[in-house]
Amino acid sequence: MTALAQRIESFLRHRKCALPEIGLLQPAEPILNAAGEDIRRRIFMTADQRGRDLCLRPEFTIPVCLNHLESGKARKRYGYVGKVFRQRANEPAEFLQAGIEDIGAEKKGAADVRCLADAIDMLRLLGRNRLSVVVGDQAIFEAVLKSLGLPKAWRERLGRNFGDPARLAADLDRLSGKSNGSMDHLAPELRQAIEAGDREAVESAIASDMKKAALPPQSGRTAAEIAERLMEKAALAAVRLAPEKREVLEAFLDLDIPLKDANQRLWSFARRANIPLGKPLETFHKRAAALERLELENVSLRYRAGFGRTLDYYTGFVFEVRGGPSDDKPLAGGGRYDRLMTVLGSRHKMPATGFAVYVDRVKPTLKDKAPKPARQVEARS
């Protein structure tokens, strides 16, 4: 183990984190199901002698959560430092990642604040003192979508693309009728089955086409998965968003303000648009106030309504940390992922939050002393 990894592990133990052994090879299915398209396109796949799909671990959150479920524990903080493997533009595909996953903490607001404070302290340990933080909140975004009367299928689709401006803009164009997601390229009998809402006929036609093309079952998505996507696409295409409602949504997504001003601006937005934000906004206000009380030195905090994380498992508070102007990529990121544990097989809902530091981007210069924990975080958790 390198001196760098040893210092990070010491930091994690000081934060009362268990350090689980997470294997380099991971079962691919739970990662593909839970992390979504962004990871699916970039992981390194392989298989064992029995044909089970495996992958080099692309991140730690999902493997740590699986480890937690196997342990049967209700509450635990985990820390990690190690190599992960996924394709990245203009960066090495093998890189060092470190972070904390806090699973089962019922006081969600305190856990969110502690999560961000721990991420900042880890970056300070690695020599970064001046930091810029952007926070978002998927729960508020989803509350806005619900208030606009969008059907569940569209809310889920937009929620998956939250944080991806290009995909979100394309979805809004489809909702507004500017693009129609045409199915004219499909075979007539398949198109007719989709228009009739005949799921079995759609799946049968796709399976027949795959067989004619001699595609093996493991070549990609199954006929059932493709049928589900096509049926969803057809259902989405039938919905239209009125121009005034699109204006409301775009006004929300344009909010980019200092965190200290965010609560007032969100209340003003909700009043003008005549939409209830209720509990999500109340939760946001309490968390933002707690973050301001930390009085983080040399750290700027901004709220960006359109900011989200591109992994599917995030559900609420999310954040990204950068350093100076030369940092074109985030040094750390994280947030709340309360749905992940049930997606991975838990029979009970389990709150969870966490972050990861991209150690290779930080270019560490280790300090002689560990950073002092951000004020109030320990006492409030």
* Cβ within 8 Å of residue 224, ≥6 positions away: 203
Domain of residue 60, CATH code:
3.30.930.10
pLDDT band at 381 (very low <50, low <70, confident <90, very high): very low
Chain centroid offset of residue 352 CA: 12
**Domain presence at residue 281:** no
Rounded to whole angstroms, how far apart are CA atoms 41 and 27?
A: 16
- Across the range 219-231, mean pLDDT stands at 77
Tell me whether residue 245 is in a domain: no
Closest to 78 (Cα-Cα) out of 104, 57, 112 = 104
Query: Do 130 and 209 sit in the same domain of this protein?
Result: no
Verify that 218 and 335 share a domain, yes or no: no
pLDDT greater at residue 194 or residue 33: 33
Q: What angle do CA 357, 121, 101 make, to 5 degrees?
A: 50
Residues 313 and 217 reside in one and the same domain: no
82: DSSP letter: E
pLDDT at 161: 86
Query: What integer is the mean pLDDT of 371-375?
Result: 61
Regarding whether 110 and 49 lie in a shared domain, the answer is yes
Look at residue 88 and tell me if it is in a domain. yes
> Is the same domain home to 103 and 195?
no
For residue 15, pLDDT beyond 50: yes
Per-residue pLDDT at 369 exceeds 60: no
Q: Which residue has the higher pLDDT, 194 or 116?
A: 116
Tell me the per-residue pLDDT of 160-181, one tens digit each, with 9 for 90 and over.
Answer: 888 888 888 888 888 877 655 5
* DSSP string covering 181-232: ---TTS-HHHHHHHHHT-HHHHHHHHHHHHHHTT--GGGSS-HHHHHHHHHH
Residue 21 within any structural domain of the chain: yes
Task: Note the pLDDT of residue 379.
Answer: 37
Among 88-97, 268-277, 357-366, whose mean pLDDT is lowest?
357-366
Residues 217 and 102 occupy one common structural domain: no
pLDDT band at 137 (very low <50, low <70, confident <90, very high): very high
Q: What is the pLDDT of residue 239?
A: 74
Q: Is the pTM of this model over 0.85?
A: no
> Could you tell me if residue 150 is inside a domain?
no
The span from the CA of 81 to the CA of 356, in Å, is 9
Residue 338 domain-assigned (yes or no): yes
Q: How many CA atoms lie within 13 A of 231 on its CB side?
A: 16
* 283 pLDDT more than 70: yes
pLDDT (tens digit, 9 = 90+) per residue, 50-68?
A: 989 999 999 999 999 999 9
Q: Are residue 130 and residue 193 in the same domain, yes or no? A: no
Tell me how far apart the alpha carbons of residues 118 and 11 are, in angstroms, rounded to a whole number.
10
Considering the domain architecture, whether residues 28 and 124 belong to the same structural domain is answered as yes
Same domain, 7 and 129: yes
Long-range contacts of 256-259 (CB under 8 A, 24+ apart): 256/302, 256/303, 256/304, 256/305, 256/306, 257/302, 257/303, 258/300, 258/301, 258/302, 258/303, 259/135, 259/288, 259/291, 259/292, 259/301, 259/302, 259/303
Which is higher by pLDDT, 365 or 255?
255
* 130 in the same domain as 17: yes
Point out the domain boundary residue: 237, 253, 270.
Answer: 237
The reported pLDDT for the residue numbered 157 is: 85
210 and 314 fall within a common domain:
no
Tokens representing 206 are 């796709």
Q: How many domains does the chain have?
A: 2
Percent share of the chain, pLDDT over 70: 90
Give domain status of residue 334, yes or no. yes
**Which pLDDT score, from 0 to 100, does residue 380 have?**
41
User: What span, in angstroms and rounded, lies between the C-alpha atoms of 240 and 254?
Assistant: 21
Q: Is the pLDDT confidence value at 214 over 80?
A: no
| Type of residue numbered 113 | V
Tell me if residue 285 falls in helix, strand or coil: helix
Query: Do the beta carbons of residue 168 and residue 310 sit within 8 Å?
Result: no
**Res 252 pLDDT > 90:** yes
Q: Look at 58-67, 234-243, 337-346 and tell me which has the smallest mean pLDDT.
A: 234-243
Q: Is the pLDDT of residue 218 over 60?
A: no
Instruction: Please indicate, yes or no, if residue 175 is contained in any of the structural domains.
Output: no
Domain that holds residue 310: 3-135+304-380
The pair phi, psi for residue 231, each rounded to 5°, is -65, -40
pLDDT number for residue 104 = 95
Are 11 and 108 found together in one domain? yes
